[in-house]
A and B are shown apart, each in its own frame.
Chain A
Amino acid sequence: MNKIIQINLAGQAVSIDEIAYQSLSHYLQTLEQHFANMKDGKEILADIESRIAELFFGKIKKGNSFINKQDVDEAIKLMGTPEDMGIEDDEPNQQKNYTKSTAGRKLFRDTEDRVLGGVCSGLGAYLDMDTSLVRIIVVLLIIFTGIPLIAYFVLWAIVPEATTPNDRFRMQGGNTTVNDIVNNVRTEATDIARTVKNEANNVAENLKKNSNLKQSGSSVVNGLEQITRFFAKIFGAGTLIVLVIVGVALSIFLLANATGGLTLNAGDMDVVTPSILRSPTLNWIFSISLLSLVLIPIGTLCYAIILFIFNMDVRLSIKAVFLSWLLSLAIFIGISIYSAGDVNVKSFKEFGEKIRNSKFKLGDNDIYYDESYKLESDTSKQDNPNDSITTPEIKKDTSLAELQWL
């Protein structure tokens, strides 16, 4: 049996069966592509949607309990194909643009082909890669660096699940290009300019007539709202940049800490940043949990800003975000309490000193030296009692650290 779903069409709740919905959304998408590069495309599309909603409303009123494929076909026949709507186009070059714009592919989680959350299969569809290949890469990266582990949970939380046929269509759809985004922004900007102009005209006219004051008032508000939104978007973009910089800096620092220290170039000798905790394993868990603790809110905020800037529908599972944040908080608190005595105070002191007087005296934290340093430093590290115990692990870490940062 065909599933009945509730959709929102031009602000109206419409019950529609799934097959009918598929063909309706396909039709609307074709129109959207057709009008994508037209100045007034959005408005025209809204008019058409609103009219279709009205036609459906009539069907429901007649006694149909939901909209079926036949109703959709009728409506489509009545409204006509995109080609019918283009006849008034005077600008000949627009014809070319229609074919250029492709349906944007959207990142979804493919829960029909999943191991955990369907993130990998969704990514595969998005990147046009084989799902198994994505999975292998992700698993290898998790084993060797641990980084995708957070990324996986973050994506699980924020990427919407492909639930409807339309979602699946968009998941596998055409190619998203930077061009689409640029176009989106451009139409937005011209939209605003146009609205401002129109509203100004309307207001002037209405004042002249001295009537309809109420409506003109609301038009002004409407125009102001658009302008405010525009500036809010610029502000949002600024915030986004700052957040990304902070996020990246923190990630670099913490990941460096997790995987073995960041090599800084001080004078003619490299200095390695100290690790926060002595034990490499604890240090790794500590850094990763702290990283997700910080990155989850930053990432969520960035995501929300991006959605806002590009007028995308907000599909964010706050619950999942919050839960994964709580999880990292719990791990962070746990590890902090467990390893309070393990803080590598000495290494920090030495690091500070090293930076201050650039004497290149090597500290006791020898996790990060490559072999050549080790020979030189052997004399200066008599004070590390853990040395002999941790050596095997240290070596492994060293190679990793080199892999990543050298």
Chain B
Amino acid sequence: MDARQLLKALSEAAGVSGFEQELEPLLREAFEPLVDEVRTDVLGSFIARKDGSGPPPRPSVMLAAHLDEIGMMVTKIDEQGFLRLTRVGGMDKRILPGMEVMVHGRRPLAGIIGTKPPHLLEPGESAKALKIEDLFVDVGLDRERAQEAIAIGDLVTFHRPYIELANGLVSGKSLDDRCGVVAMYICLEWLKRLQVQADVYAVATAQEEIGGKGAIVSTYDIVPDVGIAIDVGHGDSPGVPEDHTSPLDKGPALAIGPNIHPKIHELLQKAAKDAGVPVSTEVVPGNSGTDAWNMQVSRSGVPTGLVSIPLRYMHTSVETLSFSDLERAGKLLAFFIATVDRSFVEGLTWS
């Protein structure tokens, strides 16, 4: 399959934080031909390892893009067969009324997050956002039949097809951060054509949205010399200050700030030039909110970098990005990895 097909398949599949194993067959199919070994760890992160060609001890680079999506979970089935929900991960609850969803019970069931018709609203009611406790899912079943098919703790995901918009933009659910996973795939394809000394671990991390847990344990296990997170950054859109966003289709953004090792940022900038990839700079004055935050403080410390793919409408079901930015990110990562050698790694220790 190619990168576009992979992105569409990943976007439309269900893999809520903590339940990412659903995606494993798809990832195996995509990554196995490109690497030496694939495995899944205890928390559900998918790890694809490709050995480098340098003499041992080889430097190691870990890429991290998170696999999980935000979603919801059933907390109750009421007397009429409607379902009550809680959130898994930080979703904007204002997107929920009128949303089509998939309930992952004994079998997948279509559902609708129902709403009061406008005719019956009190004055001023529509100016207030609904609380999660007020929302319900209609699966079209009565209580008895709902209980046969659905249990408390079952997951509910957005049901939204992946679509292509104008100018190479694409839109779908879970592009945060499945686009990062596809960027790693594109990177590995490029690595086939480049001379690479370092061992590469492409990790599709689990449970990032609920505390970065996949990155914590996989980094502890791998002990990489360099860690690069590939996540989404806020794309430009009306009403958001410019210095908090990056424009779409102008290349990935390279983060700078305490979460990022300055020399890694420098080498990423250089790799961008060599690869002919346009990039912008993203100022991150503290917690980057990505796997880079947890990777950086693993064991005795891991020097980290962060490549962000600009994305609009984060944590909704209509996340939108430029497919070219994705391709650029993948190529950039490959050129970066190709320049990582022992002396670069040694130079990352401050005196």
Q: Do these two chains really belong together in a complex?
A: no
